[in-house]
Amino acid sequence: MMYPNLLAPLLLALALVLALLVLVAARQPVSRRLAFRQLARRRTEAALVIGGSVLGTAIIIGALVVGDTLNFSVRQEAYRTLGPVDERVIAPPGPAGRTVAERLSALSGDPDVDGVLDARATQASGVSRPDGRTVAEPRVLAWQLDFGEASRFGAPGGDSGLAGPNPKPGQVVINTPLAQSLRVGAGEPVTLYLFGAPHTYRVERVVPEQGLAGVGLGGRLNRDAFLAPGTLDAAARAAGTEPRTVVLVSNRGGVEGGNALTAQVTADIRQVLGPLAGQATIDTPKQTVLRDAKQAGDSLGALFLMIGSFSIIAGALLLVNIFVMLGEERKAQMGMVRAIGMTRSRLVGSFTLEGASYALLSALPGVAIGVAVGWGVAVVAAEIFQGWSVGGSSIRIAFDVTPTSILNGTAMGLLIAFAAILGTSMRISRFNIIAAIRDVPAAPGDRPRRRLLVVCSVLSVLFALAAVPAVARSQADATYLMPALAVAFATPALTRVMPRHAATTLVAGAVLAWTLLAPVVRPGIFDTPSMSVYVIQGALAAFSAVVLIGNNQRTLLRPVRRLLERPSESGLAARLAVAYPLAKRFRTGATLVMYTLIVFVLVLLTEISGILKAGVDGVVTDATAGYSLRLDYNPQVAGDRLAAELRDGPSAAGISAVTPLLNATGRASDPGHRSTRPLDIAAVGVPDGAITGITFRERLSGLADDPAVWRALATDPRYVVVDGFFGSTGGPAGDYYDPGDTLTVTDPRTGRSEQKVIAGVLSNGMVFYPGTGATSTTYPVVMGEQSMRRVFGAQAQNASALVSTRPGTSPDALATQLQGEQLSSSLVATPIASEIRHQFDSSTAFFRLMQGFLALGLGVGITGLGVVMVRAVRERRRTIGILRALGFRARTVRRSFLWESAFVAAEGIVLGSLLGVLTTWLMYRNSAAFEGLEGGFPVEWTSILGLAAATFAASLLATVGPARRAAAIRPARAVRVAD
């Protein structure tokens, strides 16, 4: 569920607001009757306001549902690959492993434990021949366990995932992923390579991937084969070795409930094992999976909520615009009721009740549309995440929605709508009663009131003082907000010493300049996983730019003055088209902000996607550095001999170099100090002098070039290198650590720890990530062989290698060939360049998904323009009638309305596009998130022009109806006093 901690405060705030509204309705019957009469009388207006509220609520709920879906999808990994398994103890082969299993059997009497299951496992590969064609799968886990004990494993009555009789000798039970990979079913033969030797079995049955039937040793997707008791032991003896001992422990409670006892049970395991705890790896996979689920759901949900925030702001502005227009239309009516004694507070109460009714009526359809939007995003995201898979091991998206998110989204939507309506009601209730009754515009005062001047000046000073430490520390949100607010609140004071127009222009220009230049002055402000900084940046840029443009519209129109002043029908239509936007500055400004905000973010996403595509070649070069393939294999079978076999084997003609790597699993502290918990790492040991070409984006002072960093790793065991995503929490990568910072690397089996110094940050560390579907929160730490063996001892084994191909050799074809040749070693070959390009393609698709989600906000902006034009027809009815009576043709009126919407839409599109391109360029030049992308800064003209054309066309379509209605007004009816 998304933001469960916000549920109580949001519901409490909503309850208080609703209670106040009920109180106002009960104690102010006149205000209540005025509000509900307008609701019943103006049904078209009610539909427009409800539509704006519906979209705002739908966007919020859609973002929260996306978070629910991601959270639920990752949590399903616990059900698929773990089930009742909470702890996993992996012991080395041999007598030590058997002793570990014997000691852990004593945990059966622990009140916190409801199951201990002893199993044997080994990495294997499989071959089948469906329809006479050979199908191979190098990623197989072969298990030996007792099905009777497995069926009783876990809570009584619970489903462990494995049940039924043990397979008989010569038979095997396989799970669904392995059956699909080998294209076999029950009764068909399959050959498994166990410890390097082939063994043929008949598939006894296929079991669903659930719980123990999907269990693994750290992957998201496990292709499991369950053999008859004693089969794995016999195959190991024939090969002169022993299988690995794996003891699975289930805590009291359900699949997720048992996680609460993990710390206590882990301590009990260590106590039972005693000195043997240093020879075994004690994993807590359930805790890791559930933590990753929360992190993934929260981060991606926050990302979509950030993208949706711009649409939410646009929706709130639509409500504000509609109510301002309603207030202007009812100005005379409000003046009359104020003249006969209604207080300003009761008038505010009447408008607020009316708006609250619209918001409440929009809640239910908003929830329905929001859930549908979340479902649509989940469907598309499922395809995208499949593209990010490693060996098919990706997050499997399953749609989910929780009552908490529905309540949170509904409460947020209603509270935002109520706040917008209340603020607007207070604004429109301030008017001159005489001017309102006469329906003439009130002249604004040139000087601010004394109380406003004092309050704003004090706030300006306070925000200016708060801005100094915020900017000095590069506090993301405050760096943008504090200086901008300090300048904005200085406006009343500035109007005392300069004209209002000049003061407003100066303030808006200063805020816009700071918003654009803040990343230049303080580039560290983007080193945060929080998404709020991007919302603040976008909102400040859009609002300040619109105020600046709106305040200087006449100056901007000077180059086209001759066109506007032409003595022709077209010139007249053009003058009418710009007259009302210039006269109604607040209305025009609100509509412009809607357009500017959404187009700004759409262009921003388009440009970031373009930067990624332009930089892919550079990333591939940095990541590969001459290496074409990463190989992952079973060290128990291949060991140290694989490199020699590759150099002398059938594929040797296509291979120019093989660099074996040492591998071990470990834990490390976070050098960026974002978390106090240890991080899971894939420790990688590189042979001395074998790697010199892989590049770094940052190096330790004193290391002159990239080869010097690799030499330092070989000569000094203190040094390690990491990549820019080490310890990433799901937000922007940022720059949380630098060369010279330290981290502590620990072997979880022995507890041996060493403090290491970061000698360099890799430009791209893709070649060092495990290629066999390990969890996405396992980060590589690269060190020299000497350092590797010092920390991890015997656990450090040759389990992967980097391969360089000769000119003319296809890495993809060679990968397939090597996997066939080394099937007995469970070799998985990953073409590095192809994998990186595939990942970039998926990233581009993800940006498109976010753009599609943001398109809802563009719909809000277009709807807002349509609403303004609908209201404009009603508001100008008499004016249009007089113009028609004077001889203006219907097509001139229609053309003026279409040109008016075109003027506003074009201005918003151009402004949003310019801000989007400029902001992305400044981020590209100054943000650490773009380090390592060396393809330059492309301006995606085709995509931007396509977006602009589509938006412009949709805006004109939204105006066609009101324009036709305006042209159809009959002069005789329109000039009557009665409505």
CB-side neighbour CA atoms (13 Å) of 429 = 19
Give percent of the chain with pLDDT exceeding 70. 93
Q: Identify the helix (H) or strand (E) that includes residue 357.
A: helix 344-387
Cα-to-chain-centroid distance, residue 427: 37
pLDDT in tens, 534-586: 888 888 999 999 999 988 888 888 887 777 777 777 778 888 888 888 888 88
Q: What angle do CA 352, 354, 356 make, to 5 degrees?
A: 65
For residue 928, what pLDDT band results from cuts at 50, 70 and 90?
Answer: low
Closest CA to 210 of 182, 175, 179: 175
Averaged pLDDT score across all residues of the chain: 84
Q: Cα(175)–Cα(171) distance, rounded to whole angstroms?
A: 14
Whole-angstrom CA distances from 285 to 78, 575, 802 are 8, 70, 29
Q: Which amino acid is at 649?
A: G
Residue that the structure tokens 């012991």 belong to: 91
Residue showing tokens 């009757």:
33
pLDDT in tens, 634-650: 888 877 778 788 888 88
Average pLDDT over residues 94-103: 85
Q: Is-contact 395 299, C-beta < 8 A?
A: no
Cα separations (Å) of 365 from 11, 25, 378?
Answer: 19, 24, 20
Residue 156 has pLDDT above 70, yes or no: no
pLDDT for the residue 394: 59
The tokens for 469 are: 């430490």
β-strands 797-805, 742-746 pairing: unpaired
Indicate the pLDDT class of residue 620, thresholds 50, 70 and 90: confident
Residue 42 has pLDDT above 80, yes or no: no
894 has pLDDT over 80: yes
Cα–Cα dist 737/742, whole Å: 9
Position 733 scores a pLDDT of 59
Which sign does the torsion angle of CA 469, 473, 478, 483 carry?
positive
pTM score, whole prediction: 0.79
Per-residue model confidence (pLDDT) at position 443: 58
Residues 143 and 121: beta-carbon distance below 8 Å = yes
Residue 541 buriedness (CB in 10 A; 0-12 / 13-18 / 19+): buried
pLDDT at 124: 92
Per-domain boundaries in the chain: 1-80+286-445, 87-283, 453-556, 558-615+835-979, 629-808
Span 690-710, mean pLDDT? 88
The residue-averaged pLDDT of 918-944 equals 80
How many angstroms separate the CA atoms of 575 and 582, rounded? 11
What does DSSP say about strands 655-668 and 797-805: parallel, antiparallel, or unpaired? antiparallel
Q: What is the pLDDT of residues 215-242, one digit of tens each?
A: 888 777 889 999 999 999 999 999 888 8
Q: Residue 199 in contact with residue 191, Cβ under 8 Å?
A: yes
Q: What pLDDT was estimated at residue 744?
A: 94
Mutual angle of helices 344-387 and 285-329, in 10-degree steps: 140
- Label residue 788 by pLDDT band (50, 70, 90): very high
Angstrom distance (rounded) from CA 4 to CA 411: 13
What is the β-pairing status of strands 719-723 and 753-762? parallel
pLDDT class of 732 with cuts at 50, 70, 90: low
What are 897-912's pLDDT values in tens digits?
A: 888 888 888 999 999 9
Which position has the token pair 């590049």? Answer: 695
* pLDDT for the residue 386: 63
| 411 φ, ψ (degrees, to nearest 5) | -65, -45
Instruction: List, for residues 113-139, the tens digit of each pLDDT value.
Output: 988 999 999 999 999 998 888 888 888
* DSSP annotation of 637: T
How are beta strands 244-251 and 113-128 bridged, if at all?
Answer: antiparallel
pLDDT tops 70 at residue 824: yes
Task: Give the range among 36-45, 587-596, 752-761, 812-821 with minimum mean pLDDT.
Answer: 36-45
User: Confidence band (pLDDT; 50, 70, 90) for 979?
Assistant: very low
pLDDT, tens only, 9-29: 999 999 999 999 899 888 888
The candidate with the shortest Cα–Cα distance to 61, out of 414, 311, 303, 374, is: 374
- pLDDT confidence bin for 729, thresholds 50/70/90: low
Please report the pLDDT score of residue 871 as a whole number: 73
Average pLDDT over residues 429-440: 73
CA distance 321 to 318: 5
Q: Which of 302, 355, 293 is nearest to 324 (CA)?
A: 355
**What would the pLDDT profile of 311-338 be if each residue is shown by its tens digit?**
778 777 777 777 777 777 777 777 888 7
